Structure formats: structure tokens, C-alpha cells
Amino acid sequence: MAAIESQDCSHETMVQLCSIALDGNDETQVEDASRVLLSRLYDQLCEAGDKDESRTLVLFAVLVLLANSISGAILRVHPPKPACHPHAKSGLVLILGYGGSSLDALGPYGTMWAGAGYRALTGTMPQTTHLSHRFIERLVVELETGLAAGTEFILHICSNNGWYSWSRLIETWQHHNLPPLESCLTKIVHDCCPADFDLKGEQAPIIAVNYAVGITRMLENFLKVPIDRQNQMRPVFEQIAASPEFIRLIWGNLEFKDPTQELTVPRLFLMSEADKLILPSLVQDYIERLKHVLRANGTREAELGTLFQVVKSTHAPHMMLGSYDPALLADAIHNFVWAGCSPVVEIDDDWKRDVKKGFVSYILSQT
């Protein structure tokens, strides 16, 4: 900690040291270490404030990078609970978390899928090089085991962070003992994503501010930072986040390649009119581009109509569909998973009630 607190500690060195400090196998120990480390960094950031712009920039960039996954490189496995649903499925669901999501925040998603009969993996890929490599290593081990039997594989991507994480994972897919993607991936849930942002264009500062402030708010909730202190630092955070230096430090030369655009698999798009980060219009643009690619590859219009389901909330904020409209989420997942079954499978009221209970319980635990 002394090295990290040094005035001369560079951004690269600080990120490396912090990543090593948060590299562990125990979920509780990692989150405890994360809470201590992020709290110290936040205190230093508040102390520097607007008095030392260069140090404030470095501290804030490191804080946002680390806070992207406060659970480090830990994965949580949710064993299937087929007894929770009379028409339980089987298979593997990978839930890649949104920026700033903890394992507890992703817990209700894991519980929802486990209750439908699936083995669910939840985790948020860190943005630091060391921890992201560790995350992929652990994820590959789970995937090699889970996909070995040729089971159904569903991908649940949360926000653009989950989408970028999936892109990173696919870059290494062929280097591991994993089946070809086209032979194992059966369905994709796009939860508030994707949006094709130009991270080097005119909108980059606005995107960076929305992202950084969103991450910081979740972090402040995690650290239980007093409201008056949050309000005091908000203008400083917004000013830093809009700077080209901050954008370079957190995103660098980040590029996204869509690894699934040519796969003819059913997709469920969850979005909200109230989403201020990933606008529904941007997701709709992606859907139209995807349809264009599939048409060019020979997919007929009749088949296209069966590949896309869109469910839209009128009032849920970004990645809050489960918290604000759990019934809509449960209905959407049910209709997506059991679509085409003969005879028709009606939604199970007990499972739907458990989905709502999971999200409500998480909200109450944060108050």
C-alpha cells in the first residue's frame, strides 16, 4: 500500500500492484481486499481533489479500472436447481457482468437461470491486464468442463462491458479445448447491449463521463461513502472523465470485433426507453446491421423473424430491468427459453415469484 500511495507511483505501476493485490481464489477475501484498497484510493483521490490535477487523473483512472470488477477475477457457480421448475431445462449459461457489478449484484441472474435448470456462471471481467487474463483462465476451465458433454450453451451478456468481455474471450477460444462456437452456442441474451460507440469520436467525452460516473456511484455504494462527500467529488470526477488523458488511460486502443454476428442463433434483446447509457435506438441499429449480415449469408426473411425477440421496458434504468420490472424479465426469459415447445409450456408462477424475490432481496441488502 505504501508503494501505491507514493506520489511518484505511475499509472501503469499502480494498476499492476493493485491487480496483484486483488488476485485471489476466495470470493470473500478478494472482496474484503478490494474494499480496503478501493477505499484507500478513494480517500487519496478526495485528498488530491482539484489541487493536484495530474495525481487526481492517475488515481481516478486506476479507481475506475479496478472498480469495473470489485470481485476481481472471481467466478461464482450457481448449480442447477431443476426442482424449482416443473419443465426444467439443462445446460450451461454464462452471464458476463456489466461494469461495476459485483458477484452479489449478478446473483439474482444466476439464481434465475439455475431455477430454470441450468448451471450458471456469473462474473465481471476486470479491465486490468493481469486480472482479465486470470478471469479468462478460470472461465475456460469451467467452459471446458461444462461444454464437454455437448449441452445447450446460452450466453447472457450484460451491457457493453459484458459484450467487450465476450469479445476478449472469443479471441482465445480456439487456443483451448473448447468446441467450435457454431456447434455449441444455442442462444444469446443481449441485456441492454450492444451499442457501437466511437470511443475516439466527438461523443467519447460524454460516453466516458456516463461510464465513469456510473461506475463511481456503484463503488460509492459498495464503500458506503457519505452522500455529502459524493456530491462534493462529483464535479471533479465529471471534469476528469471528459478529458482525453482519462479516456486514453481507461480505454487505450480498445477495439471491438463482433464474434457472433454470423451465427444464426436465436437472440433476445432486453432494453428500456429509460436507459440513458445504452440507448434503445443504438441497440436497434445493431439489430438492423445484424439482419443485414445474416441476409447476405443466405438467411431467409421467414427465419429472421424467428431469430429475434425484443422486449422493452418503459421505465427501468440501465441494467435495472430485474429490479424495476422483474415480471417483465421473467416473462421474457421464459418465452425465450421455452419458445417452440410442443405442447406449449406455460410460465411457472413459483419460478417467476422466485425471480422477483431474488432481485428484491438484493436491492434490500444494499439499503
- Give residues with Cβ within 8 angstroms of 254, minimum separation 6: 164, 199
pLDDT value for 15? 77
Neighbours of 235 (CB within 10 A): 10
Q: List C-alpha distances in Å: 154 to 169, 189, 205, 209, 333.
A: 15, 8, 34, 32, 11
Which of 254, 74, 248, 244 has its CA nearest to residue 161? 254
Answer whether residue 339 shows pLDDT above 60. Answer: yes
Q: How far apart are CA 353 and CA 66, in angstroms?
A: 35
Whether the pTM exceeds 0.75: the reply is yes
* pLDDT single digits (tens) 139-176: 999 999 999 777 899 999 999 999 999 988 998 898 99
Q: Do residues 39 and 191 touch, judged by C-beta distance below 8 A?
A: no
Report residue 20 as a C-alpha cell: 496483484
Answer whether residue 70 shows pLDDT above 80. Answer: yes
